[in-house]
Amino acid sequence: MTIPSFVIGIAGGTGAGKTTVSRLVTRDLGDSVTRIPLDNYYEDLSHLDFEERQSVNYDHPSAFEWELLRAHLEALLEGQSVEMPQYDFEIHNRKEERVTVEPTDVIVLEGILALYDEEINEMMDLRLFVETDADVRILRRIRRDVIDRGRDLEGVIDQYLSTVKPMHEQFIEPSKKHADLIIPEGANSVAVNLLEEKLRAEVDGDAVRSWERGSLEEELGEKR
Ligand code: UZR
Ligand code: MG
């Protein structure tokens, strides 16, 4: 049985590069890492029809099933496996099937509101916020939604202005204050390399020292 030793949260606006950072920093960890997309914990909306689901505000915290996510993270941290839901963006709903996820040394929770929930933040050893300019993010978002997800441009623009941008300002940007580190411009190689080394050391069991969250100001103050 594996008890996870290092839990990371990666938050940031849409198109910031969260998924890329999460993939890059864990690329050499093989089976020692589990990446959990927050999207998997969007509420089950099977009781709504497609049109109704299209008009849901998916950038608001209420769109997520926080209870289930908390329970799953707690279970993983106790060494138990979980049946994780899967999300389908095309139908705006949770898929029927779940996948069994086993606990691993490193766990990465990645999503727009990964640093939103206080209890979930408490479970994390490292909280990252990926910060990328809004113009770059919307361009990436257009490319992804129009080209990869077959949505129409007008719809993407409307959604951005009506929910994505205001919710970013109201909930996502303020969650940055919970971060330990802010990563500028997504997958910048210096930040990625530092994080990769840290994770490697955690998995190999030779991390120099374990961390406790808090200010170290006093430590320095004594020497002044
Ligand atoms: P990332 N989202 C959808 O467009 N449809 C859904 O069914 C569920 C989510 C979008 C969501 C958010 N918002 O901006 C984005 N809207 O997925 C988050 N509107 O994903 O962090 O990869 O950009
Ligand atoms: Mg992503």
Structural domain total, the chain: 1
Give the confidence band of 224 by pLDDT, cuts at 50, 70, 90. Answer: low
Q: Tell me whether residue 122 is in a domain.
A: yes
Q: Tell me whether residue 30 is in a domain.
A: yes
- Could you give the ipTM of this predicted complex? 0.87
Give the confidence band of 218 by pLDDT, cuts at 50, 70, 90. Answer: confident
pLDDT of residue 223: 61
Q: Tell me whether residue 71 is in a domain.
A: yes
Q: Which tokens belong to 17?
A: 């590069």
pLDDT of residue 216: 85
Least confident of 38-52, 66-80, 146-160: 146-160
Q: Which tokens belong to 144?
A: 């992804």
Q: Tell me whether residue 190 is in a domain.
A: yes
**Is 127 in contact with 113 (CB distance < 8 Å)?**
no
Does the pLDDT of residue 32 top 90, yes or no? yes
Ligand 1 centre and the CA of 4: distance in Å? Answer: 28
pLDDT of residue 150: 87
pLDDT of residue 153: 96
Ligand 2 centre and the CA of 134: distance in Å? Answer: 15
Whose C-alpha lies nearest to ligand 1, atom 1?
14
Q: Which ligand 1 atom is the nearest neighbour of the CA of 53? A: 7
**Is 131 in contact with 16 (CB distance < 8 Å)?**
yes
Whose C-alpha lies nearest to ligand 1, atom 21?
14
**CATH code where residue 124 lies:** 3.40.50.300
If phi over 0 gives left and psi between -120 and 50 gives alpha, with beta otherwise, what is residue 109?
Answer: beta
Q: Tell me whether residue 35 is in a domain.
A: yes
Residue numbers of the domain that contains 24: 6-209
Quote the CA–CA distance of 19 and 194 in Å, as a whole number.
17
Does the pLDDT of residue 188 top 80, yes or no? yes
Percent of the chain with pLDDT over 70: 97
Q: Tell me whether residue 76 is in a domain.
A: yes
Least confident of 2-6, 87-91, 170-174, 217-221: 217-221
Does the pLDDT of residue 185 top 90, yes or no? no
Q: Which ligand sits nearest to residue 20's alpha carbon?
A: 2
Ligand 1 centre and the CA of 59: distance in Å? Answer: 7
Give the confidence band of 179 by pLDDT, cuts at 50, 70, 90. Answer: very high
Quote the CA–CA distance of 75 and 69 in Å, as a whole number.
10
Give the confidence band of 215 by pLDDT, cuts at 50, 70, 90. Answer: confident
Least confident of 61-65, 77-81, 107-111, 203-207: 203-207
Evaluate: CB of 163 within 6 angstroms of ligand 1. Answer: yes
Evaluate: CB of 202 within 6 angstroms of ligand 1. Answer: no
Q: Tell me whether residue 219 is in a domain.
A: no
Q: Which tokens belong to 175?
A: 């969650």
Ligand 1 test: best mutation among 58, 65, 110, 162, most atoms within 8 Å of CB? Answer: 58
Q: Tell me whether residue 146 is in a domain.
A: yes
Ligand 1 centre and the CA of 74: distance in Å? Answer: 25
Which residue in the block uniquely carries the two structure tokens 């919710």? 167
pLDDT of residue 220: 81
Give the confidence band of 221 by pLDDT, cuts at 50, 70, 90. Answer: confident
